[in-house]
């Protein structure tokens, strides 16, 4: 693994911060055409695309309850136990994020406040092509359920029958509305709803779409934002490990490769250290683990592109670089891990100490694994219960209050040129 001496202004830092997968105009145009077609022709168009692109052989998109139950029954006892524990951990963590409505009483009988309500219907995209992702269902559905969302709709481009682990999680969470469809066509169906030729609604539109997908789904989510809400447009996975001479180099190497194996070729696996000898030890461990890996060629591609061990002169520079990169996952494996972690301002999730390996967060600990990527940790947060809640402002003015303040309100309205705004309050005098 390549070792580079850097400072916060180095060109290598800029390169690492600038990585992205830019979709071609051809792909973008295809997505726009699919969105427009499903919006216009509804269920018929969605069905045709699912048959063409998603391996659907039947004439209906809905996955039956019986089919889900049949697949779920194939999940082994150890897997069931692990998934149940993960669900409990994620639910327990997210319960702490729940918000409550509130009211405040001001002068003259004025009552102001905020009313919290859950979204009613949410769409969850679960990838089903190259991988199997029960953790995606858990991490996206559990906070929605904690928030009080009534309807969770799952779309997934399954090739044959639904994966047993995914099916088991769906049953555990009580999710029954599942459709065999993926890509831009799935996003379009969720965003616009789908009617049949007679105008009957087959699939109701959702309020929000969450979950990762392929490049077609990602572009589609971006394009329908505003028609519905979305979680985020996620980029390739990232991990940044801060390590000093106290670290276990083999642990660091393993954690770097845990993100490099995702497979797009654009993942980032970065280590920051203040010690050249530590850098060399980590590099040697990475090389050894790569050579012994069944994914050797894939890992080499990722590490050649965005796998780097960055050597800094001190941890002032190290922390500054970490905050500049704002990684999806940030691990701190230093002798002063707690105090260093406290200096991190920009990251999706921070893992502190040698036993807090990143996959612990991906699958089990409880915090959400849907995290901001590509430096967006500077302003985005992990997916949470708050993403499935709406906030409505409450205003209740008394007669005394409006008579006291009407002229002031009208003065501001007239300054902005809104005559009837002013009249609406002045008529109450």
Q: Which residues are tagged catalytic?
A: 328-329
What distance in Å separates the CA atoms of residue 6 and residue 308, rounded to the nearest whole number? 11
What token pair was written down for 149? 């969302």
CB atoms near residue 116 (< 10 Å)? 16
**DSSP summary character for residue 386:** G
Which residues, 6+ apart, have CB-to-CB distance to 89 below 8 Å?
A: 364, 365, 366
Residues belonging to the chain: 429
Distance of alpha carbon 99 from its chain centroid, rounded?
A: 20
* CB 289, CB 254: distance < 8 Å: yes
DSSP 278-314: HHHHHHHHHHHHHHT-TTHHHHHHHHHHHEEEEE-SS
Strand 208-210 versus strand 121-125 pairing type: parallel
Residue keyed to tokens 């219907």 = 121
Which residues, 6+ apart, have CB-to-CB distance to 83 below 8 Å?
A: 75, 134, 138, 165, 168, 169, 172
- 202's enclosing H/E stretch is strand 201-203
Q: Output the CA–CA distances (angstroms, integers) from residue 166 to 133, 169, 170, 211, 372, in the order listed.
A: 7, 5, 6, 14, 24
What distance in Å separates the CA atoms of residue 243 and residue 315, rounded to the nearest whole number? 10
Q: Output the CA–CA distances (angstroms, integers) from residue 2 to 13, 264, 284, in the order listed.
A: 14, 20, 10
């Amino acid at each position: 693994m390549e070792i580079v001496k850097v400072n916060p202004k180095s060109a290598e830092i800029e390169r690492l911060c600038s990585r992205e997968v830019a979709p071609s105009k051809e792909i973008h145009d295809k997505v726009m055409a699919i969105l427009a077609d499903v919006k216009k022709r509804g269920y018929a168009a969605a069905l045709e695309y699912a048959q063409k692109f998603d391996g659907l052989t039947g004439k209906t998109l809905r996955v039956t309850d019986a089919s889900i139950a049949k697949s779920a029954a194939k999940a082994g006892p150890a897997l069931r136990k692990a998934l149940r524990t993960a669900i409990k951990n994620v639910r327990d963590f997210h319960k702490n994020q729940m918000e409550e409505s509130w009211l405040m009483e001001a002068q003259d009988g004025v009552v102001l406040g905020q009313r919290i309500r859950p979204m009613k219907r949410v769409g969850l995209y679960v990838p089903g092509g190259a991988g199997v992702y029960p953790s995606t269902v858990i991490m996206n559905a559990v906070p929605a359920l904690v928030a009080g969302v009534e309807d969770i709709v799952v779309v997934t481009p399954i090739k044959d029958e639904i994966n047993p682990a995914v099916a088991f999680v769906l049953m555990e969470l009580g999710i029954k509305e599942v459709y065999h469809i993926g890509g831009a066509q799935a996003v379009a169906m969720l965003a616009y709803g789908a009617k049949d030729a007679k105008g009957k609604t087959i699939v109701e539109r959702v309020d929000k779409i969450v979950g990762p997908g392929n490049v077609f789904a990602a572009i589609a989510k971006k394009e329908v934002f505003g028609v519905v809400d979305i979680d985020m447009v996620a980029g390739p996975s990232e991990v940044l490990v801060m390590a000093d001479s106290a670290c276990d180099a083999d642990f660091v190497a393993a954690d770097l490769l845990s993100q490099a194996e995702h497979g797009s070729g654009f993942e980032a696996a970065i280590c920051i250290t203040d010690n050249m000898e530590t850098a060399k030890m980590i590099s040697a461990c990475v090389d050894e683990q790569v050579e012994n890996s069944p994914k050797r060629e894939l890992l080499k591609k990722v590490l050649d592109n965005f796998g780097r061990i960055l050597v800094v002169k001190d941890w002032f520079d190290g922390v500054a670089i970490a905050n500049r990169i704002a990684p999806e996952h940030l691990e701190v494996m230093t002798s002063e891990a707690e105090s260093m972690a406290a200096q991190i301002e920009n990251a999706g999730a921070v893992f502190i100490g040698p036993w807090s390996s990143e996959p612990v967060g991906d699958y089990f600990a409880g915090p959400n694994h849907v995290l901001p990527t590509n430096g967006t940790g500077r302003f985005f947060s992990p997916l949470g219960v708050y993403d499935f809640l709406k906030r409505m402002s409450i205003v209740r003015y008394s007669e005394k209050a409006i008579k006291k303040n009407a002229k002031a309100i009208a003065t501001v309205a007239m300054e902005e040129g809104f005559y009837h705004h002013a009249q609406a309050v002045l008529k109450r005098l």
